[in-house]
Amino acid sequence: MSRKTNPATIGIFVIAAIILTGAGVLIFGSGKFLKDTKSYILYFDGNVAGLKIGAPVTFKGVNIGSVSKILLHFDSNDMSLRIPVIIEIENDQIEDINNKTRILADKNNLVLELVNKGLKAQLKVQSLVTGQLYIEFDFHPQKPIRLAGVETLAYDTRLPELPTIPSEIEELQRTLEKIPLETMIHKAIAALESIENIISSTQTKEALSALSNTMKNIEKLAVTANYKIDDLASGSQGVLNDAQAFLQSADTLVREIDKQIKPVASNINTTFKTASSSLKKADKTLMSIENIAGSNSQLQYELTNTLKELSAAARSIRIFAEYLERHPEALIQGKRGN
């Protein structure tokens, strides 16, 4: 006769099988059981609302790990609170392209070298709708290195700490806090009140009225000036026409005078040449008379003076005739100075 099976024992085995199956699905399904990871600790001073366990950890947009734990520590020495965040970095995600081997996270020298080059962690907004955050690693050599340098109570051994920098929202908040908004608002209100007082003052109204009258007078003056300018332009055009006609008449007159002067000058020159020839003949005649009258007679003396005067007159007439031949306009304009 067979022993009767205990239902309670069967139930226990079924429950245990279900638990083991669920644990296996969670462990192997997530893939963390087979992953080579290294844990680091980060300290954030600001608000970490929106950062959840399992949030991604990225480097320049590449997923290299996730957040494994978020803690809150109280320091009774300085009465301060710190928020340590434990992250796990997947070593398989980082490779050395020179040696083609995986970089193991326990190589603290490599981590220290990256930190010295400016590697820092920063909270970033993953979704504006949900407000979820993630951790982004990048190089910020211009930012100072901040390390808390304390051990987390969650682990017996000290975890490697990586420096952090404030998030962009925290930096914006700090910048806004430095701006004296209250003082600026009071000054703006005071300025608006002053402007209102100036606008509503009697002096301003009188000044605006005077300005309006001045603009009207300027407009009238502009219209009057426009008419005057038109009249002046018409008169100026008449004067220019008269001047042009006068110049044309003067040019015609000069041309006519020039035509008449040239023949007169030529006739005068011919007459002067004839007179000069006659004087030369008279000079010879007087010389003959001188020979006849004798050297000491009164007649010789008078004839000699007469011939000298006639000779001087002939030279003057000859010079004048030559000048008129070169400059016929001298009969109108007169002789120019040397």
213 and 285 share one domain: yes
The H-or-E segment that residue 140 falls in is none
pTM score > 0.85 for this model? no
210 and 156 share one domain: no
Are the C-beta atoms of residues 81 and 68 closer than 8 Å to each other?
no
148 and 232 share one domain: no
Structural domain includes residue 103? yes
Are the C-beta atoms of residues 137 and 119 closer than 8 Å to each other?
yes
Q: In the structure, what pLDDT confidence band is assigned to residue 66 with cuts at 50, 70 and 90?
A: very high
The 10s digit of each residue's pLDDT in 251-283 is 676 676 666 666 655 666 666 566 666 666 666
Identify the pLDDT of residue 54.
92
Identify the pLDDT of residue 55.
92
Are the C-beta atoms of residues 201 and 209 closer than 8 Å to each other?
no
Q: In the structure, what pLDDT confidence band is assigned to residue 298 with cuts at 50, 70 and 90?
A: low
The H-or-E segment that residue 88 falls in is strand 80-90
Give the HSE-up count for residue 259: Cα atoms under 13 Å, Cβ half-sphere: 5
Structural domain includes residue 157? yes
Q: In the structure, what pLDDT confidence band is assigned to residue 29 with cuts at 50, 70 and 90?
A: low
Q: Residue 278 CA to chain centroid, in angstroms?
A: 95
For the chain, the average pLDDT equals 74
Last residue of a domain, one of 166, 192, 215: 166
**Domain membership of residue 276 as a residue range:** 205-333
155 and 229 share one domain: no
% pLDDT > 90, the chain: 9
Q: Which of 157, 135, 19, 151 is nearest to 68 (CA)?
A: 135
Structural domain includes residue 193? no
Identify the pLDDT of residue 134.
93
Structural domain includes residue 185? no
Structural domain includes residue 172? no
Q: In the structure, what pLDDT confidence band is assigned to residue 315 with cuts at 50, 70 and 90?
A: confident
Identify the pLDDT of residue 1.
46
**How many structural domains is the chain composed of?**
2
Tell me which of 215 and 57 has the higher pLDDT. Answer: 57
* DSSP assignments along 209-237, one per residue: HHHHHHHHHHHHHHHHHHHHHHHHHHHHH
Identify the pLDDT of residue 175.
79
59 and 132 share one domain: yes
Identify the pLDDT of residue 156.
43
Last residue of a domain, one of 111, 144, 166: 166
Last residue of a domain, one of 166, 185, 218: 166
DSSP state of 92: G
142 and 81 share one domain: yes
Structural domain includes residue 134? yes
Which residues, 6+ apart, have CB-to-CB distance to 100 below 8 Å? none
Please state whether beta strands 56-59 and 133-139 pair in parallel, antiparallel, or not at all (unpaired). parallel
46 and 160 share one domain: yes
47 and 161 share one domain: yes
Which residues, 6+ apart, have CB-to-CB distance to 330 below 8 Å? 323, 324, 336
288 and 162 share one domain: no
